[in-house]
């Protein structure tokens, strides 16, 4: 039997990119996945394409929408075993030139969104002794020019993961994070021109030198699937780095 057979799963931001790959792999491995995205058209297309169990959309910055989407998923699936907090945005800007409303916005999506979605899902996960995987980033571990506020949000996601994991251990709920390096999605495509302008190095060369190759959304989905499965039953409060060795090297 597949490791995710029958698992009832809710993935935020799963209309595209890494979230879509996670939803597709989980479905392929027997999970029943509810797709959720602020982009309702992308959510529907993804659900149709991968044969998901359903769609329950929300903007993760809106707590009422999040609570309602989680409830819809629970009603549809008959409970919840796994929450994947994947929805996230990037901002490319020198930190101290970033407008404050843009700083607030990225914290609202990446940090507040993770917080309110965990809160809404937790009663259902306590019931199922389920687990949460938060998609953080290597930007939460090291700094990067142009990604100051993004780095701060992802460090916050790692810390939320740690504390929530320790607090929820007695209830049997595991909570982990995944920290990918650069992966092949629209988010990275949007960042390339600014990175090339700042470094004067072709992005492909930078990636080859630092992480061997660009990650794929499937690379991230594989580790997320492991963490969400019962094979990871003793893993909680951790953050798994997937970056082709980027953070392992000082030069």
Ligand X SMILES: NC(=O)c1ccc[n+]([C@@H]2O[C@H](COP(=O)([O-])OP(=O)(O)OC[C@H]3O[C@@H](n4cnc5c(N)ncnc54)[C@H](O)[C@@H]3O)[C@@H](O)[C@H]2O)c1
**What letter does residue 183 receive in the DSSP assignment?**
B
Given candidates 4, 9, 16, 152, which one binds ligand X under the rule CB under 6 A? Answer: 16
Interface with ligand X includes 56 (CB under 6 A)? no
Instruction: Give dist(CA 128, CA 123) in Å, integer.
Output: 9
* Nearest to ligand X of 68, 128 (CB atom): 68
Instruction: Give dist(CA 63, CA 102) in Å, integer.
Output: 19
Answer for the pair 10, 36: CB distance below 8 angstroms, yes or no. Answer: yes
Instruction: Give dist(CA 59, CA 70) in Å, integer.
Output: 12
Answer for the pair 122, 165: CB distance below 8 angstroms, yes or no. Answer: no
Interface with ligand X includes 27 (CB under 6 A)? no
Interface with ligand X includes 182 (CB under 6 A)? yes
- Closest distance of CB 142 from ligand X, Å: 12
Instruction: Give dist(CA 127, CA 122) in Å, integer.
Output: 9
* Nearest to ligand X of 98, 128 (CB atom): 98
Instruction: Give dist(CA 97, CA 146) in Å, integer.
Output: 10
Given candidates 61, 72, 161, 176, which one binds ligand X under the rule CB under 6 A? Answer: 61
- Closest distance of CB 76 from ligand X, Å: 18
In the block, residue with structure tokens 């650069």: 182
- Closest distance of CB 170 from ligand X, Å: 28
Residues 112-141, mask of contacts with ligand X (x by CB under 6 A)? -x---------------------x-x----
Answer for the pair 135, 12: CB distance below 8 angstroms, yes or no. Answer: no
Residues 96-115 that bind ligand X (CB under 6 A): 109, 113
Q: Which range of residues in 76-84, 117-125, 167-175, 178-186 is near ligand X by CB under 6 A?
A: 178-186
Interface with ligand X includes 188 (CB under 6 A)? yes
With 0-12 / 13-18 / 19 or more C-beta atoms within 10 angstroms meaning exposed / middle / buried, residue 160 is: buried
Closest CA to 182 of 165, 199, 161: 199
Given candidates 88, 130, 237, 244, which one binds ligand X under the rule CB under 6 A? Answer: 88
- Closest distance of CB 228 from ligand X, Å: 16
Establish whether 150 is a catalytic residue. Answer: yes
Sequence-ordered list of residues with C-beta below 8 angstroms from that of 201, at least 6 positions apart, any chain: none
- Closest distance of CB 136 from ligand X, Å: 7
Active site residues: 150
Question: Residue numbers of the site for ligand X (CB under 6 A)?
Answer: 12-13, 15-19, 37-39, 42, 59-61, 86-89, 109, 113, 135, 137, 180, 182-183, 185-188
């Amino acid at each position: 039997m597949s490791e995710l057979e029958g698992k009832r799963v809710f993935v935020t931001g799963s209309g595209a990119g890494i979230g879509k790959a996670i939803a597709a792999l989980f479905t392929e491995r027997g999970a029943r996945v509810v797709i959720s995205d602020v982009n309702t058209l992308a959510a529907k297309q993804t659900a149709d394409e991968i044969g998901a169990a359903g769609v329950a959309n929300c903007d993760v910055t809106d707590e009422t929408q999040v609570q309602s989407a989680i409830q819809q998923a629970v009603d549809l699936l008959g409970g919840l075993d796994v929450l994947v907090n994947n929805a996230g945005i990037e901002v490319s800007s020198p930190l101290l030139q970033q407008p404050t409303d843009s700083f607030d916005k990225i914290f609202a999506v990446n940090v507040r969104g993770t917080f309110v979605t965990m809160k809404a899902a937790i009663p259902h996960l306590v019931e199922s002794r389920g687990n949460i995987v938060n998609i953080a980033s290597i930007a939460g571990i090291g700094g990067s020019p142009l990604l100051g506020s993004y780095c701060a949000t992802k460090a916050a996601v790692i810390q939320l993961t740690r504390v929530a994991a320790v607090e929820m251990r007695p209830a049997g709920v595991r909570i982990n994070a995944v920290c990918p390096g650069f992966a092949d999605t629209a988010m990275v495509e949007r960042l390339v021109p600014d990175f090339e302008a700042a470094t004067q190095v072709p992005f492909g060369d930078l990636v080859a030198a630092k992480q061997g190759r660009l990650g794929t959304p499937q690379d991230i989905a594989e580790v997320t699937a492991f963490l969400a499965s019962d094979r990871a039953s003793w893993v909680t409060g951790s953050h798994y780095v997937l970056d082709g060795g980027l953070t392992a090297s000082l030069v």
